[in-house]
Chains A and B, each alone.
Chain A
Amino acid sequence: MFSLSRKDLAALAVFAVVVLTMPLWLSPLGAAYPGLMQKFAIYAIFAIGFNILFGLTGYLSFGHAAFIGVGSYTTVWSFKLLTMDIVPAMIFAVITTGVFALVIGYFSLRRTGIYFSILTLAFAQMCYSLAYSVLTPITNGETGLLLARDDPRYLDAMFGAQANIAGLPQPTFLGSSVTGYTGFYLCAAILIVAFYVSQKIFASPFGMALRGIKSNQTRMNYTGFNTKPYMLAAFVISGMFAGLAGALLSITDPLAGAERMKWTESGNVVLMTILGGVGTLFGPVIGAWLIKYFENIFSAINTNMLNNFFSFLPDGLQNVVVTVLSKFVGEGWHLTLGLMFVLIVVFLPGGLVEGFHRLMARLKRRRGTPGGVTSVQPAE
């Protein structure tokens, strides 16, 4: 039941090593901070979950940010009301988002194509707007939901834990704090499990049915599959992944704000998935890492750093280069991001993973290896 094919097992092993050694290989890239690496892991989980829906069934949801938000709020409420332990928080977050996804999915899945996308977008935008207005008692509006010293935490109180700690309580995992590297390894471990689950789904008859829906829904119906519950199951599973990601966001930084539910966040996960490669196992993860990397690294570069870096150039040239480049970094990193999308979509259709496969196929052909091209489509 928990077994994987040899190919998948190898992929999982490689993936686990890559994720766990992040602190090593990210440090030359200037990104080996626990806070950032946590984000890498969390958004990778989000993208993996999104890919289960979009990659397998082809249904493009534009409202997945709502599930991140629901997961975050549930987690903080679990911290406030029950206990600072993260396990119940995560369980509640996943269950609540599952229920949410069930309701939203039930209605949205009555339509297909862009009508489905707009329905999910509309539901998410409603959640977002309501979080700022009517639902303020639950969401604490623009301030965001925060922990407070005098939160009841009934379970903790019952067991007398954390009774006399000064300052705000910290989330714990079975009693130990989850800040810094512990937090990263927690997220990393969950990411590896998420990747494994996605592998299992991809390789299962269930996953095959989802692919069948993407490929030809008519044939699915006439073949005896009731496609509705399949879609709903995929939607709910994918929503639960997002809820888990939302929970981890609030575990590593215990607050929840409505801005996480904004449609641009939903757009981000779409971009991550497409950028890496829709329907591939590694694609969404790579996409998520790239976008988060650029967001953090490029936005942190400022003019001084550029000046230092280009100080070897003659003064006039240095000024020109720095002025031009400064438009692309710091505040302007969005420009780089936008250009990156355009360039990648124009030159690497199908995302990075597909582009990599094409490149490999081309290299193989150039070397003249006979029969090198198997399932990979020839370039052009």
Chain B
Amino acid sequence: MSETPPNIILHAADVHKNFGGLRALSDIDLQIEEGKTHAIIGPNGAGKSTLLNVIIGRIPPTSGAVVFDGTVLTGKAPYEINQLGISRVFQTPEIFPDLPVLHNVMAPAFARRDGAFRINMFRSVESEGEIRQEAEDMLNDIGLHGRREDHAGSLSRGDKRRLELAMCLIQRPRLLLLDEPTAGMSRHDTNSTIDLLRKIKSSGMTKVIIEHDMHVVFSLADRISVLAQGRIIASGLPQEIKEDPRVQEAYLGGSVE
């Protein structure tokens, strides 16, 4: 993969995905620049979630490869991909409902520090002051510090989403994948999530975001790719996308904002 330019952190090269006879993705060539927020938009059924699942290794592509910083991701287990520095926020929040909120955030931090497997049964969570502090700071940032002792399952839906985001952020991933991070949130929660994502934007974390909400997309994205019927029909700066007639026809219905 020597032709990959140095500032491209993720490259989905010539990816095809068929489900039976159905073509879910064809001819995908997607390059994600390091440090940028890249949004993938498209109508329902365009293959956005499939693309994300292929990137994360949940679904193997029929052909083509996904390369992350020089490493081919195809065939790797989810935990290996995470250990390479890719975290994912799911469409329906995947948290640890039976664990206290604080431990929800601490566990990913342990995975970052100790790797995929370590029997450290004679250490104690209590004495891990550094990680605990980090987790508490993170909870402060997302406004859940007051509920750190509660079981995560008792949080509201919006809080669960923010918690999941915190669980990903604490790993300081090089690439963060967000699958509709504000779906089902109130306007207020959506705005605070946008603020949070903006704040971490300055830290240089690369983000790929799948989103329906154009407000969110145009508030955050540096680059936008438009997916329709399993193909990328346009890719570029937000302004270019807004003005692209094909995109307006396929997805935006002629009116943006």
Contact = CB atoms under 8 A, between A and B. Distances in A.
Whether A and B touch directly in their complex, counting CB atoms under 8 A apart, is answered as: yes
Interface of A: 1-5, 197, 200-201, 203-209, 211-212, 214-216, 218-227, 229-230, 233, 237, 374-375
29 contacts: A2-B122, A3-B124, A3-B127, A197-B121, A204-B121, A204-B123, A204-B124, A205-B107, A205-B118, A205-B128, A206-B121, A208-B103, A208-B106, A208-B110, A211-B96, A212-B99, A214-B98, A216-B95, A216-B96, A218-B94, A220-B79, A220-B107, A223-B79, A223-B87, A224-B111, A224-B115, A225-B117, A233-B119, A375-B151
Contact of B116 (A203, A216, A226): A226
A224 B124 CA distance: 20
B78 A222 contact: yes
Given A201-B121, A204-B120, A206-B121, A219 B99 contact: no
A4 B124 contact: yes
Interface string B51-87: 0000010000000000000000000011110110001
A122 B123 CA distance: 35
Interface string B88-103: 1010001111110001
Contacts of B150: 375
Interface residues of B, number: 43
B126 interface: yes
Interface string B137-177: 00000000000011100000000000000010001000000
Contact of A204 (B82, B125, B151, B171): B125
Contacts of B95: 216, 219
B124 A225 contact: no
A175 to B, nearest CB: 31
B96 A215 contact: yes
A222 B94 contact: yes
Contact of B125 (A1, A203, A218): A203
A101 B150 CA distance: 35
Nearest to B173: A224
A204 B49 CA distance: 36
Given A219-B167, A222-B56, 18 more contacts: A5-B124, A5-B126, A203-B124, A203-B125, A205-B125, A206-B123, A208-B106, A211-B103, A212-B99, A216-B94, A220-B107, A221-B79, A222-B82, A223-B108, A223-B167, A224-B82, A224-B111, A226-B80
Interface string B183-206: 000000000000000000000000
Contact of A1 (B94, B106, B123): B123
A211 B82 contact: no
A200 B124 contact: yes
B243 interface: no
A53 B125 CA distance: 19
A211 B149 CA distance: 16
Nearest to A198: B121
Please name the 4 residue pairs, one residue from A and one from B, whose CB atoms are nearest each other, closest first: A224-B82, A224-B111, A226-B116, A215-B96
Contacts of B88: 222
A207 B103 CA distance: 11
A38 to B, nearest CB: 27
Nearest to B98: A215
A226 to B, nearest CB: 4
B95 to A, nearest CB: 6
Contacts of B240: none
A205 B96 contact: no
Given A209-B107, A209-B110, A222-B88, A229 B124 contact: no
A230 B117 contact: yes
Contact of B108 (A224, A374, A375): A224
B114 interface: yes
A306 to B, nearest CB: 46
B112 interface: yes
A212 B117 CA distance: 13
Contacts of A211: 96, 98-99, 103
A233 B171 CA distance: 25
A2 to B, nearest CB: 7
B200 to A, nearest CB: 18
Contact of B82 (A212, A223, A375): A223
B159 to A, nearest CB: 16
Contacts of A208: 99, 103, 106-107, 110, 125
Nearest to A225: B111
A165 B150 CA distance: 63
Contacts of B103: 208, 211
A221 B78 CA distance: 6
Contacts of B77: 221, 226
Contact of B120 (A206, A223, A224): A206
Nearest to A226: B116
A203 B56 contact: no
A341 to B, nearest CB: 25
A60 to B, nearest CB: 16
Contacts of B122: 1-2, 200, 204
B99 to A, nearest CB: 6
Contacts of A227: 79
Q: Which of B83, B114, B116 has the most CB of A within 10 A?
A: B116
Given A204-B121, A205-B120, A206-B118, A224 B83 contact: yes
Task: Give the one of B96, B117, B121, B171 with max A CB within 10 A.
Answer: B121
Most chain A CB inside 10 Å of its own CB: which residue of B96, B110, B124: B124
